[in-house]
Structure 1
Amino acid sequence: MLQMITGSNFFCNSKAKAVFKITGEDAFSFLQGQFSNDLRTPVGGATYGLWLNQKGKVVADSVLLRIAENEFLAFSNHSLASVIQQRLQDYLVADEVNLSDETISYDRLIISGAGCGALIKDFVKSELRVGQFIQWGDLFVVPGGQLPFENYTVIGPQKSLASWCDQWVARGWVEGSELAWDWARIAAGVPAIPDDLGPTDLPQEGGLEVGVIAYNKGCYLGQEVMARLKNLGQVRRRLHVVRGRGAPPARLAVLYQGGKKIGELRSIAQHQEGFVALAMLALINLNARAGLGLTPTGPATIWLGAHE
Structure 2
Amino acid sequence: MEGMERALEKALAGEGYFAFLGVLLVRGPDAFSFLQGQATRDLRRLSGPAGTLFLNHRGQIEEAATLFPHPEGFLLAPWGSLEGLKSRLERYIVFDQVELVELPLYRLFRADGREEVGESGEGAYPLELYPLYTLLKGLPLLSDIRGELPQSVGLLHLVDYGKGCYVGQEIMARTEGKEVHHHLVGLRALGPGTEVPLELYWQGRKVGEAKRLLPTPFGFLGLAVVRKEVPFGAELEGKGGRFLLEPLPFKEATWSGRRSSA
- Structure 1 length normalisation: TM-score? 0.71
User: In the TM superposition, what whole-angstrom CA distance separates every residue of 1:243-274 from its partner, at most 9, and x where no partner exists?
Assistant: 22554221212221112222221122322320
* 1:274 matched residue in structure 2: 219
- Cα distance between partner residues in 2 of 1:288 and 1:306: 7
Unaligned runs of 5+ in 2: 250-262
1:211-235: per-residue Cα shift (whole Å, max 9, x none)? x00111111111111011114x122
1:46 aligns with 2:52: no
Matched residue, 1:183: 132
2:61 maps to 58
- Give deviations 1:178-237, integer Å, cap 9, x for gaps: 3443233223322211x11113x1111111112x00111111111111011114x12222
Distance in 1 (alpha carbons) for counterparts of 2:152 and 2:217: 30
Correspondence for 1:224 among 170, 181, 184: 170
1:197 is aligned to 145
The 10-residue stretch of structure 1 (86-95 or 201-210) with the greater mean CA deviation from structure 2:
86-95
What corresponds to 1:250 in structure 2? 195
What's the Cα RMSD here? 2.4
Aligned to 2:244: 303
- Contact between 2:78 and 2:85, CA under 8 Å: does it hold in 1? no
- Give CA deviations for 1:34-80 in whole Å, capped at 9, x if unaligned: 110111146x5222110111111111001111113x51111113x22
Structure 1 residues 245, 196: closer, same or farther in 2, change over 3 A? Answer: same
* 2:105 maps to amino acid: Y
Extract unaligned runs of 5+ from structure 1.
Answer: 113-149, 166-174
Structure-2 change in CA distance of 1:191 and 1:252 (3 Å): same
Deviation at 1:83, TM superposition (A): 2.3
Q: Does 1:291 align with 2:235?
A: yes
1:19 corresponds in structure 2 to 23
| Aligned-residue identity in percent | 29
Counterparts in 2 of 1:37 and 1:182: CA distance versus 1, 3 Å: same
Q: 1: distance between equivalents of 2:17 and 2:85?
A: 27
- Alpha-carbon separation, structure 1, partners of 2:14 and 2:89: 39
**1:81–1:178: structure 2 CA closer, same or farther, 3 Å change rule?**
closer
Q: Which amino acid aligns with 1:38?
A: D
Partner residue of 1:137? Answer: none
Q: Give the TM-score taking structure 2 as reference length.
A: 0.82
- What is the CA–CA distance in structure 2 between the aligned matches of 1:10 and 1:245, rounded to whole Å? 32
> Residues of 2 paired with 1:191 and 1:7: CA distance?
19
Q: 1:246, 1:273 within 8 Å by CA — same for their partners in 2?
A: no
* Cross-structure match for 2:153: 206
Distance (Å, rounded) in 1 between the aligned partners of 2:110 and 2:197: 30
The equivalent residue for 1:71 is: 73
* Separation in 1, partners of 2:166, 2:121: 35
Q: Which residue of 2 aligns with 1:151?
A: 113
Q: One-letter code of the match for 1:292?
A: L
2:38 counterpart letter in structure 1: Q
SS in 1 for 2:186: strand
After superposition, the C-alpha distances for 1:95-118 in whole angstroms (9 at most, x for unaligned) are 11111123xx23444433xxxxxx
- Aligned partners of 2:183 and 2:227 also within 8 Å: yes
* Corresponding pairs, count: 243
1:268 touches 1:276 (CA, 8 Å); kept in 2? yes
